[in-house]
Amino acid sequence: MEEKKGFFRRLVSGLTKTRDNIVSGIDAIFHGFSEIDDDFYEEIEEILIMGDIGVHATENILDSLKQKVKENHIKKPEECKEMLIESIKEQMQVQETAYRFEQEKSVVLIVGVNGVGKTTSVGKLAGKLKAQGKKVVLAAADTFRAAAGEQLQEWANRAGVDIIGGKEGSDPASVIFDAVSAAKARNADVLLCDTAGRLHNKKNLMEELRKINRILEKEYPDAYRETLVVLDATTGQNALVQAKQFAEVTDLTGIILTKMDGTAKGGIAVAIQSEMQIPVKYIGVGESIDDLQKFDPDQFVNALFDRKDEEEGEN
């Protein structure tokens, strides 16, 4: 009987293309250079930027690396690989409080442009919370796209949780209103709200989010608020642009980075946190219900460099 691959192994295999994109180049530099000089640093810089790690994070990583090399009196390029790995990890620290919403009565708003994986992530998150024994209610506030409600209904069935929806074309804010009433009446632990990725235009989309936020503030003031923007890792630097646009209309508290499986642009996980100062809280590595996990920077970098993770357990 074949045992299901652990999440770490799936992450390692999912990051194959990103690894080919970043790590093989870095290894070549470590072996190709005989001393640590400006050319050596420039080559590393180029690889990190080409690997979607972003200018901001790359600068920080190089500064930190140079300092470590100096402090430790390192002379040989191959000796500073561990230091580079450490410097990358430093860019992505998730605070202890990142998952407070799981412990409190909370409302989680999921936002993002169309097709990034919002509905799928709501479904997967519902499954995880339900497995922890939480009472979960879903709000199907994407009333714009035909069949969006049915898609979320399927996830609700899969996860075994309640769902509140509205008719196609109905007001998303009124679905949120109804869902809040249901969450209160049913004493839900977590209300998870799926939203539309596309309305008639971007202005409408942002206006709708403001309206939803007003309803939540007014009707559910005692619930702990979490707003997660879903970003598709395969879009690389574009994901960063999207995050910035959503940050203008709503207080983002975290990022869900999807489609990390099979993309060469996984380095974006580092870029986004460094640039936005918003933590990646979950990553998606596939389409099934257990393919969403909490983001662990150490685990991520270990998987990227294909090193053994200290704790290969699920998280």
Ligand X SMILES: Nc1nc2c(ncn2[C@@H]2O[C@H](COP(=O)(O)OP(=O)(O)OP(=O)(O)O)[C@@H](O)[C@H]2O)c(=O)[nH]1
Residue with nearest beta carbon to Mg ion: 119
In order of 32, 88, 188, the CA distances from 185 in angstroms are 65, 46, 8
Of 145, 158, 211, 294, the one binding ligand X by CB under 6 A: 145
Residues 171-230 that bind ligand X (CB under 6 A): 197-198
Q: CB of 102: closest distance to ligand X in angstroms?
A: 20
Q: Rounded distance, CA 36 to CA 21, Å? A: 22
Is 259 a binding residue for ligand X by CB under 6 A? The answer is yes
In order of 9, 16, 196, 298, the CA distances from 309 in angstroms are 10, 16, 37, 8
| Segment lying near ligand X (by CB under 6 A), choices 56-64, 110-118, 160-168, 220-228 | 110-118
Q: CB of 74: closest distance to ligand X in angstroms?
A: 38
Of 102, 226, 261, 275, the one binding ligand X by CB under 6 A: 261
Q: What is the CA radius of gyration of the chain?
A: 21
Of 58, 143, 258, 293, the one binding ligand X by CB under 6 A: 258
Q: CB of 84: closest distance to ligand X in angstroms?
A: 27
Q: Is 5 exposed, middle or buried (0-12, 13-18, 19+ CB in 10 A)?
A: exposed
* Residue 285 binding partner per list Mg ion, ligand X, none, with a CB distance cut-off of 5 to 8 Å that depends on partner kind: ligand X
List the beta strands (DSSP E) in 84-189.
106-111, 136-141, 162-165
Contacts with ligand X by CB under 6 A lie at 112, 114-120, 142, 145, 148, 197-198, 258-259, 261, 284-287, 291
